[in-house]
Amino acid sequence: SQQGEEDPQALSIQEGENATMNCSYKTSINNLQWYRQNSGRGLVHLILIRSNEREKHSGRLRVTLDTSKKSSSLLITASRAADTASYFCATDGNDMRFGAGTRLTVKP
């Protein structure tokens, strides 16, 4: 199995701006998932995109998947201070593996 790798490692933006995080992986996948982690707590599932999908929306979240480039992006529009968290991508497999995450800070 393999894991996703997120970039950037850290991102700091002002409230109201959009935040874009990227994830790259190395082998073929069935799906890719994005999770959020608030400090000191467990991860929360945000969205899953299947390999035959190119884009998916959920509220202020937009996820894209480019299987030819083996990459995905997570866009958070109109960011809020409450979006401050670490964001992780994970690719499917019996042992779901996670990258190191992107630490997003949204300044009020």
Six-digit token string for 57: 């929306």
Residue 94 CB, nearest distance to other proteins (Å)? 6
* Residue 36 binds other proteins (CB under 8 A): no
For 49, the token pair is 């995109």
Q: Which of 13-21, 41-49, 53-61, 66-74 is the region at the interface with other proteins (rule: CB under 8 A)?
A: 41-49
- Tell me the C-alpha distance between 46 and 54, whole Å: 17
Report the run of H or E that residue 7 belongs to, with start and end.
Answer: strand 5-7
Instruction: Tell me the closest approach of the beta carbon of residue 35 to other proteins, in angstroms.
Output: 8
Query: Smallest gap, in angstroms, from Cβ of residue 100 to other proteins?
Result: 4
DSSP 82: G
Please report whether residue 94 would count as binding other proteins according to CB under 8 A.
yes
Q: Which of 2, 20, 31, 67 binds other proteins (CB under 8 A)?
A: 31
Question: Backbone phi, then psi, for 21, in 5-degree steps?
Answer: -125, 145
According to the binding rule CB under 8 A, does residue 93 interact with other proteins?
yes
| Three-state secondary structure call for residue 41 | coil
Helix (H, G, I), strand (E, B) or coil at 81: helix
Contacts to other proteins by CB under 8 A: 30-31, 33, 35, 40-45, 48, 50, 88, 90, 92-101, 103
